[in-house]
Chains A and B, each alone.
Chain A
Amino acid sequence: SQQGEEDPQALSIQEGENATMNCSYKTSINNLQWYRQNSGRGLVHLILIRSNEREKHSGRLRVTLDTSKKSSSLLITASRAADTASYFCATPAYDKIIFGKGTRLHILP
C-alpha cells in the first residue's frame, strides 16, 4: 500500500540544533504533506509540497522532495523545546491520505 515511512523513528537533539527527518514512499505521488502531533493531541498540518516542487519553506521549516528517489525530508532549524512532538509524512491514496508511523522528536534543554 502507499505509505510513507519516516526515518529515524526517534531523534533527540539539543535545543538550538537542527533536526532532520526523512520520509520514503513507494509509488509516484503528486504531493506529500507533513504533520506534527504533540503528545496525545490531534495532528497539525505543517506543509504540503507538490511533485513539481523541490523545496519549500515555512518559517523554520524546510521541506524537500526528491521524486526520483521517492523521498522527502523535513528540516527544523534552530530547534526549540516546543518542537518536541511526533512528525508524520502523509501521501495521497485515491481520495484519502496515508500517514506513516512518524518520527518522535525530543528537544533537550
Chain B
Amino acid sequence: GAGVSQSPSNKVTEKGKDVELRCDPISGHTALYWYRQSLGQGLEFLIYFQGNSAPDKSGLPSDRFSAERTGGSVSTLTIQRTQQEDSAVYLCASSWGQGRTDTQYFGPGTRLTVL
C-alpha cells in the first residue's frame, strides 16, 4: 500500500511569510507525528496526534507553529511569520498507535528554506 506522503517536497519562502506543510498518513494509522530535522542534526519532536485525543504540542518551538489533523487523517503544519531559523526538513510519521512493537513510518519530508 501507499506510504506516508508529504507535500510540497521543497518550499522556498521569504522571511515573514506563512507556510503550510501537508502530511497524508498511511491509511488506518491513528497516530501521526511531526518532526523537524536541521542540517546534520537529530530529529526534533514537534507534535503528536493520537486518535481523537488532544494533541501533544509540547515540542512546538513557538506560538508561530501550529498543526491540525482533520478527520483523523490528513495533517497540516502551519508556520506563521517564518524566520530563517525555521529552515529545516520537516518530517511526518504515522503508526498504528498501539502495541509495544508500534513502528513509525516516515514520509519523505518537506525541505523548507526561508530566505
Do A and B assemble together?
Answer: no
Residues of chain A touching chain B, judged by Cβ–Cβ distance below 8 Å, are none
